[in-house]
Structure 1
Amino acid sequence: MTDAPGRTPAASARFAAVLSRPPRTPDVPPGIDPDDFRLALLEDTYEVVAGLELVTSALVLDPPDQPDAEAVTWPGTPIVREPSLTGVFAALHALGAEAAAIIAPDAPDLPPLLVGKLFRALGSAPSAACQAENAGRGLVALAARLPLPGWLTTALHDVDLDTPDALARLRAAAPRPGLMPQGPGWHRLRTVDDLRFLDPGLEGWENTRALLEGHPLTH
């Protein structure tokens, strides 16, 4: 990812944080432990962010005590314990972030390029989003310059990555069009039926792939 001089935030001040928020009622394939499945998705998603060049990876814990989730990170990874997106962005700003992206924990095959596109969009807008393309909608990722503008801080009081119409609500809260551009969409794996989106020929998602071995993907 190449910066446009004078437009995008400094690469060293970019953070990408994966949000670990265990679902209350996980939907998993028969014969697979729900916690193992959740952690496989989380670890693969974290590996996507940890592999980004010139971006600091982080993990967000809500609830704050998740030792199993912390165990999937590389040594030295910043751990943020915040229940709200505004709190997460503020914590990342306190760590030195001038721009940050918060990533859903169930996108193990997310192409790194899509995260890069969100950061690039921040060169001309204060925020950008990647919408989930499958049922349930919500957001795969939300990126913003820091500190957050007031309108976005207010809007995020009632919106998170799981809010089905999150993108529409955030755009409606913006004082003018163009303040929340939409990057290419992707999918999240929230139900067994969502496994059909996984492409066995696509590199990555190794932990999820290993766990699903012997369990045919839903089509």
Structure 2
Amino acid sequence: MARRVVVALLAPVAWTPPGIDPTRWRTALAEDVVDLLATLNEVETAVAVTPEDRWLADAVVWPGTAVHEVPEPTINAVLAALSGNGKAAPSDLDAAGPPGYDQAAVVVADAPDVPGLTLGKLLRPLSSRPVAVAPVEGSGPGLLGVASRLPVPEWLPVLDLDTAAPADVRAAAPRPGDVAVTAGWRRLRGPADLATLDPAFEGWDATRALLSGQPG
């Protein structure tokens, strides 16, 4: 059976709701995504941060969660590290060398209410295709996540999570069909996205508490 991992990339966030401390906001988003990863079945989970943001990983990870330090907060840097061909500093749990995964998905940390099923669908196409991407729903371009067989295909382009689109990845592939496009979800990148949060939807507890003004 293929060894698979889902990694939350704890990159800086571009927007914070008015009246909320940016550090607390970023921490709440990261906590909710990490908590979601802990519920996934049949995959390993991890987080990725730059050395400067190691404090954030230490604040939100569950005991035993692998933390991968990468030179820059990008999907490509994370996938390179997981493939064993990056220049990332080793994590606490991977000091002996590359972790030996067969498949990896890297997801953003500003989608606190994303369903686990949506993340599972990101990995599923890798049984027949080398790469899968999940778009962002709602306002603006960008990606929710990228999954790839490892080692990463050489044709995978440099991807900016905030501006890339599935079409960019398909255009770089030898054949458009090499890239599967899976279900998308919203990211919290502005007031319009915030307004779509459903209080009846389970999860996103840390973000919910911060938005409601509860102490945390």
Instruction: Give the secondary structure class of the aligned counterpart of 1:137.
Output: coil
1:46 to 2, 15, 34: 34
The alignment status of 1:16 with 2:21, answered yes or no, reads no
2-structure distance, mates of 1:105, 1:34 = 14
CA contact (8 A) 2:75 2:146 kept: no
Give the TM-score, by structure 2 length. 0.85
Instruction: Give the secondary structure class of the aligned counterpart of 1:197.
Output: coil
Per-residue displacement from partner, 1:150-186 (whole Å, max 9, x unpaired)? Answer: 111xx12xx2222x23321111001112111110111
1-structure distance, mates of 2:17, 2:75 = 30
CA contact (8 A) 1:59 1:70 kept: no
Amino acid aligned to 1:22: P
Which region of structure 1 is more displaced relative to structure 2, 168-177 or 68-77?
Answer: 68-77
Instruction: Give the secondary structure class of the aligned counterpart of 2:5.
Output: strand
Instruction: Give the structure 2 partner of residue 172 of structure 1.
Output: 171
Give the TM-score, by structure 1 length. 0.84
Amino acid aligned to 2:108: A
2-structure distance, mates of 1:148, 1:29 = 36
1:63 Cα shift?
A: 5.0
1-structure distance, mates of 2:213, 2:192 = 16
1-structure distance, mates of 2:51, 2:143 = 20
Q: Percent identity?
A: 46
Instruction: Give the structure 2 partner of residue 189 of structure 1.
Output: 188
2:15 to 13, 23, 27: 27
2-structure distance, mates of 1:89, 1:105 = 16
Describe how 1:52-131 pairs up with structure 2 within 5 A.
Answer: 52-62=40-50, 64-82=52-70, 83=72, 84-93=74-83, 94-131=98-135
Distance 1:17 1:150, change over 3 A: same
Per-residue displacement from partner, 1:83-108 (whole Å, max 9, x unpaired)? Answer: 14333113223212110000101010
CA contact (8 A) 1:19 1:62 kept: no
CA contact (8 A) 1:64 1:81 kept: no
Instruction: Give the secondary structure class of the aligned counterpart of 1:110.
Output: coil
Instruction: Give the structure 2 partner of residue 213 of structure 1.
Output: 212
Counting matched residue pairs gives 198
Instruction: Give the structure 1 partner of residue 203 of structure 2.
Output: 204
Which 4+ stretches in 1 moved above 4 angstroms?
none
Amino acid aligned to 1:195: L
Amino acid aligned to 1:70: D
CA contact (8 A) 1:21 1:63 kept: no
CA contact (8 A) 2:9 2:75 kept: no
RMSD (CA atoms): 1.7
The unaligned stretches of length 5 or more in structure 2 are 84-97
2-structure distance, mates of 1:50, 1:200 = 21
The unaligned stretches of length 5 or more in structure 1 are 1-8
Distance 1:63 1:168, change over 3 A: farther
2-structure distance, mates of 1:175, 1:63 = 35
